[in-house]
Amino acid sequence: MNLALEVKVKPIVEARDLKKHFTKTSGLISKQLIVKAVDGISFFINPGETLGLVGESGCGKTTVGRTLVGLYKPTSGHVFYKDEDLFKTGKIDQALYRRQMQMIFQDPYSSLNPRMTVGDIVGEPIDIHKLAENYKERTDRVQQLLGLVGLNPEHVNRYPHEFSGGQRQRIGIARALAVKPELIVCDEPISAVDVSIQAQIVNMLEELQEELGLTYLVIAHDLSMIRYISNRVAVMYLGKFVELISSENLYSHPQHPYTKALISAVPIADPTVERKRKRIILEGDVPSPINPPSGCYFHTRCSRVLPICREVEPGETETGPNQWVACHNPG
């Protein structure tokens, strides 16, 4: 299914019919089950743009990000970086592309090696890609990166446990920036830090994007944050994109019933408006990615379901400028 918008400029990265399936062993007879984590999605990200990716836990958001940067090998489909098919040989083996695409991980506690100093954590990518000619140049670069993300450059010899969660996430950001990438996948970059620090991290990411010309894929649950930081938003359900929409239309003109349900769950600061608002409660549980439903994957929980929804997978429908939806009964 192709929910990509019409490409008006040359994208920096593009996925075409991307699928990532995992094999799971179950039962005493060791039956092999296929988990369809990502089940045929297409999208692109333009240079300097931020694409937000939202959806409930288990829908495949993180798998998309990890496959995009080469941590997972896709089951089928293609990932193009500046028109170069990254998996044409079966794996990403080009050091240049590994440099150009980096990832900020969700958990700043488990993503940093506790036995390494901050200087070594941030400096390791510089060593691997041989970006410094000598130790002094490496040290200067590490201190520059720490200052860039708002940390004290003199703390290069400290260990991760000596920092707070927000500071550890800044270390992870500095590590991602060490190789001067063009695209960064931000996997829930603020979910593991204090609420008081979240706005600082988001603002810093925006400032870094403007200063360094970065392109982002931001994966998150927080629709308010996604709307604030993104140019476009992709809504994902059970391994598929159900809607691709501009951030300014996310709240005002959503078309897919699932998108509307997500938005209705976001609280509004005005108590008068909040009391008058109607919550959309989804019935039932998310189907298993091992045995997804026929037709539209969302039909088992949709209040607008039609007979065709149970039989035929919906194609993409253009519902406005920069807006596509995969639904038989949108609006």
Q: What are the sequence ranges of the domains in the chain?
A: 46-74+90-282
Q: Which helix (H) or strand (E) holds 26?
A: strand 13-26
Give the mean model confidence (pLDDT) for residues 322-329: 88
Structure tokens at 168: 């550890």
**Per-residue pLDDT at 325:** 94
Q: Please spell the DSSP secondary structure of 273-330, one letter per residue.
A: HHHHPPP-PPPS-PPPTTSPPSSSTTTTT-TT--GGGGTS---EEEEETTEEEE-SS-
pLDDT digits (tens, 9 = 90+) for 182-230: 999 999 998 878 888 888 999 999 999 999 999 999 999 888 889 899 9
Scan for tokens 């065709």, then name that residue.
308
Asked whether the beta carbons of 210 and 179 are under 8 A apart, the reply is no
- Strand 101-104 vs strand 183-187: parallel, antiparallel, or unpaired? parallel
Q: How confident is the model at residue 91 (pLDDT cuts 50, 70, 90)?
A: low
Classified as helix, coil or strand, 253 is coil
Model pTM score: 0.90
Residues 6+ apart with CB under 8 A from 73: 67, 87, 90, 91
- For the stretch 23-68, pLDDT in tens is 987 766 667 889 999 999 999 999 999 999 999 888 999 999 999 9
What is the β-pairing status of strands 50-54 and 76-81? unpaired
Q: How far apart are CA 140 and CA 325, in angstroms?
A: 48
Contacts for 43 with CB less than 8 Å, ≥ 6 apart: 3, 4, 14, 15, 51, 234, 241, 244
Superfamily covering domain 46-74+90-282: P-loop containing nucleotide triphosphate hydrolases (3.40.50.300)
- pLDDT tens sequence across 154-191: 999 999 999 998 999 999 999 999 999 999 999 999 88
Q: pLDDT tier at 7 (50, 70, 90 boundaries)?
A: very low
Distant-in-sequence, close-in-space partners of 209: CB < 8 Å, separation ≥ 6: 48, 50, 215, 216
Q: How many helices (H) and strands (E) does the chain have?
A: 9, 12
